[in-house]
Amino acid sequence: MHRHGYKGRKFHRERDQREALIKSLAESLIIHEKIETTIFKAKELVPYVEKLITKAKLNTLHSRRQVIKGLQTVSSAHKLVDELAPKLQSRNSGYFRISRTTLRRGDNAQLASVSFILDDNKVNEVKATPKPKTEAKPVVAKKTVAKAKPAVKAATKSKEVK
């Protein structure tokens, strides 16, 4: 049998069970902002949620309804549109990080952690702010020293002239 035109993993489930699984994982990821699941489920989950985030960033009524359709509860959809999408506005894609964790004890399946990449912007801002402070201090110190020396010399010369 050929494999042409078949897309996605089946996870030994029927179509409606697969869709429910992905929706449930997506909702858990949005609510908790980090989940641990098998590596293959994580790889199927990330493109699904990235498409939802792209719709949520538009923040229109139609896009909000599409996001609600893609998730199981309305509250998680509102959290995605109102809280998470504005934080991810600067990114075009790559909203998630998948990192392998441990092997599951029962069946030795490879587990992975899926989390949002939200803190990279904060780290860059924190790193950028101390640099100007350290550069500004030596420049200010040199200017004050240069101004102080001629004033002292002028005062000593005026005393000698009298």
pLDDT of the chain along its 162 residues, tens only?
Answer: 788 988 899 999 999 999 999 999 999 999 999 999 999 999 999 999 999 999 999 999 999 999 999 999 999 999 999 999 999 999 999 999 999 999 999 999 999 999 999 865 555 555 555 555 555 455 555 555 555 555 555 555 555 555
| 24 and 104, same domain (yes or no) | yes
Is 4 a domain residue? no
Domain boundaries, position 80:
15-118
pTM for the full model? 0.72
| 36 and 84, same domain (yes or no) | yes
| 92 and 147, same domain (yes or no) | no
Instruction: Kindly tell me the burial class for residue 155, based on how many C-beta atoms sit within 10 Å of its own C-beta (0-12, 13-18, 19 or more).
Output: exposed
| 111 and 134, same domain (yes or no) | no
Task: Return d(Cα 100, Cα 155) in angstroms, integer.
Answer: 72
Is 57 a domain residue? yes
| 82 and 110, same domain (yes or no) | yes
Considering its fold, how many domains does the chain have in total?
A: 2
| 156 and 76, same domain (yes or no) | no
Task: Return d(Cα 129, Cα 107) in angstroms, integer.
Answer: 48
Is 20 a domain residue? yes
